[in-house]
A and B are shown apart, each in its own frame.
Chain A
Amino acid sequence: MEKQVVFRSRWLPWALIAPQLLVISVFFFWPAAQALLQSAQQSDAFGTSVQWVGLENFHNLWNDASYLASFQTTAVFSLLVAGLGLGLSLLLAVFADRVVRGSGLYRTLLIWPYAVAPAVAGVLWLFLFSPSIGIVSYLLRQNGFAWDSLLNSNHAMALIVMAAVWKQISYNFLFFLAGLQSIPKSLVEAAAMDGARPWRRFWTIQFPLLSPTAFFLLVINIVYAFFDTFAIVDAATKGGPGKDTAILVYKAYFDGFKAMDLGGSAAQSVVLMVVVVALTVVQFRFVEKKVNY
């Protein structure tokens, strides 16, 4: 089926996309160009002396074994965040969709965490799970589980994944719920009359019809895990123990804003940008084929 709209006027389409282009130029293309420029420079902290160093910043990154290791950390983290984030919020949305009474309250409570800043989310979870003062870690230890997010890498990873997922669930939930509610009731009811049980109705009717939403959220969640989570890491683990939770964007943030190595940080941002663009292209080429619009 052909879904294209043809404009007769030559300038109208341009005029219509102009506002969006303007926003993208100011908030994406310009900073991205700046990052590219700075990635080829080295300067002192105050920017009073700037040297052109070509690809040296990138060269330094490839020679840093810990930087290469953080690709793996980032992959694990992003998969966990996107997977758990999408799965849990879909589950919540399906249940919230069925609630008849008090649905407004449930929805409000589920949307709430989205208003919390990432750094605050990190601190909240740290307070719950800090080995010294955390309530949850105290309960865990009482029950014989030796929780130690300071020195156990798996525990530290679990901590930042929980915080990052919790923060993103609201956003996913909203879209899933809207998607579910836009599915015509008659389809589901017809299937029910044919004797399909809830589980089967979900997989054969609702989930396929949700696939555009799910695909959109997959892309958004991967981008979120790659770019927006540095504050959570900074507040909860500072990349430790060792470098085991130092995801790529955290190192870019640390080197740029704490250590003030702008050239090195810019080079990392460029690498990150390339990785995310590549991932997004892959998702559009391969995953999108399974989506029904």
Chain B
Amino acid sequence: MHIHSIPIQTARRAFATLALATLSVCAQAQTEIQWWHSMTAVNGEWVNDLAREFNASQKDYKIVPTFKGSYDESMTAAVAAFRSGNAPHILQVFEVGTATMMASKNAIVPVGQVMKDAGQKFDPSAYVPAVAGYYTAPSGQMLSFPFNSSTTVFYYNKDAFKAAGLNPDKAPATWGDVTLAAATLKASGHKCPISIAWQGWTQLESFSAWHNVEFASKQNGLAGMDARLKMNSPLHVRHIENLANMAKQGLFVYKGRGNVPEASFVSGECAMMTTSSGFYGNVKKNAKFAYGLAPLPYYKDVPGAPQNTVIGGASLWVMAGKQPAEYQGIAKFFSFLSSPEVQSASHKRTGYLPITSAAFALTEKSGFYKENPGTDVAVNQMIRKVTDKSRGIRLGNYVQIRAIEDEELENVWAGKKSAKEALDAIVLRGDELLARFEKANAK
């Protein structure tokens, strides 16, 4: 037995040396950059194509995109990986996680810093203000790279409108119009005139910016961690009350949390829906009826409305503790991603917003918006002069606050709480979380 093992060992050793040699040759030739993302289906292909294009455009760096589950799952995975020293180089984080990432100063490197160190040209003013402002620290430094940004828009089923005797070419512009249209649809036998996806994001957060009222103090959290919720104002109460009445009359049908309700629009069950502009790709591919996109409805009598809607989607964060050469590669990749051509192509492909003004101009020039009516709705809602109340919402413990919004709104739809009671409860419970976040992250 002893005699046999020697040649085997030698062979093993030789093989290991060979494997090591091959590895180091690869490492010398190309620096690998790990990119963890949460894009599925059509959007997953988009991410892979971006990496492939960049890898083909140069020889020094190789971007390796890896799907790590939904937004919250990939963030949890990155936290675990960071704690054990295996964090990826680039992590895609949803807007809800932004305040958490910003507070983790030792875990991340600001994108502005990465670009400067690598000597890459980087002009924050080239980015659409409502997008760039969201990912910029109060000091003016851009912390993460805006990647897939979306906002809230209104979708409606033109065939259902026609069948109910409504004008399919005129989307309801105000909440009053929505209620009337819903009543007409219901009278003609429609079972689900309107449903709402991302209820907290569309009906409380974006609703606030759209009407130029505060969602939270301290410029909705952008100006500091000591922000507190303000979304139990008379206007908010009026809107939620209005929706509660619609629910009672069967005009608004609740279909669940997050993006779960979206399926009931694509299937034709619900005729109107407020949700993300990123839903466009799905509708375009799967809806078997004529559909229209329109700006979010608003209340006509509110001064300053409509203002602009808030950003959703995700951005790319650079993790700390990597090699200088790797940061070089990350900076090159980000420069590649911000070129107007890549930006414009991505925007047309996914329905996510163009994040630079140049990309928007390029898309407009190509005639894309004329050929695909409705695709410019999201862009027009965002490319506006923003106010301190509408720039965006960035709060600590946001994931939990979103859950609280869901819970309390469900109590309203179920008739267990009045609009005022539920909104007061969100403020009370949310403020506790904000105070805790402020305390945990004060250094």
Q: Which residues from A are CB-within-8-Å of B103?
A: 44-45
Any chain A CB within 8 A of the CB of B4?
no
Any chain A CB within 8 A of the CB of B72?
yes
CB distance from A248 to the nearest CB of B (A): 16
CB distance from A25 to the nearest CB of B (A): 21
Any chain A CB within 8 A of the CB of B342?
no
Q: Are B257 and A48 in contact (CB under 8 A)?
A: no
A51, A66, A152: the one within 8 Å of B414 (CB): A152
Q: Are A261 and B408 in contact (CB under 8 A)?
A: no
Any chain A CB within 8 A of the CB of B269?
yes
CB distance from B274 to the nearest CB of A (A): 17
Q: Are B264 and A132 in contact (CB under 8 A)?
A: yes
Any chain A CB within 8 A of the CB of B83?
yes
- Report the contact-size class of chain B (Cβ under 8 Å from the partner): 35 or more
Q: Are A151 and B410 in contact (CB under 8 A)?
A: yes
Q: Are B414 and A261 in contact (CB under 8 A)?
A: no
A46, A47, A132, A151: the one within 8 Å of B263 (CB): A132
Any chain A CB within 8 A of the CB of B75?
yes
Listed residue (A43, A254, A259) with the most chain B CB atoms within 10 angstroms of its CB: A259
Any chain A CB within 8 A of the CB of B22?
no
| Total A-B contacts with CB atoms under 8 angstroms apart | 100
Q: Are B76 and A49 in contact (CB under 8 A)?
A: no
Q: Known: A240-B406, A240-B410. Contact between A258 and B72, CB under 8 A?
A: yes
Q: Are A150 and B107 in contact (CB under 8 A)?
A: no
A42, A66, A261: the one within 8 Å of B439 (CB): A42
Q: Are A240 and B100 in contact (CB under 8 A)?
A: no
Any chain B CB within 8 A of the CB of A260?
yes
Q: Which residues from B are CB-within-8-Å of A201?
A: none
CB distance from B429 to the nearest CB of A (A): 7
Q: Which residues from A are CB-within-8-Å of B100?
A: 44-45, 260
Any chain A CB within 8 A of the CB of B151?
no
Q: Are A46 and B400 in contact (CB under 8 A)?
A: no
Q: Which residues from B are CB-within-8-Å of A133?
A: 263
Q: Are A42 and B440 in contact (CB under 8 A)?
A: yes
B104, B105, B410, B441: the one within 8 Å of A242 (CB): B410
Any chain B CB within 8 A of the CB of A122?
no
Closest-by-CB residue of B relative to A238 is: B257
Any chain B CB within 8 A of the CB of A208?
no
Q: Which residues from B are CB-within-8-Å of A240?
A: 257, 406-407, 410
Any chain A CB within 8 A of the CB of B411?
yes
Query: Bound complex: CA of A42 vs CA of B103, how far in Å?
Result: 13
Any chain A CB within 8 A of the CB of B127?
no
Query: Bound complex: CA of A258 vs CA of B397, how far in Å?
Result: 10
Q: Known: A45-B79, A150-B255, A151-B254. Contact between A241 and B440, CB under 8 A?
A: no
Residues of A within 8 A of B (CB): 42-49, 51, 60, 63-64, 66, 131-133, 150-153, 238-243, 254-255, 257-261, 263
Residues of B within 8 A of A (CB): 72, 75-76, 79, 82-83, 100-101, 103-107, 254-257, 263-264, 269, 397, 399-400, 403, 406-408, 410-411, 413-414, 416, 429, 432, 436, 439-441, 443
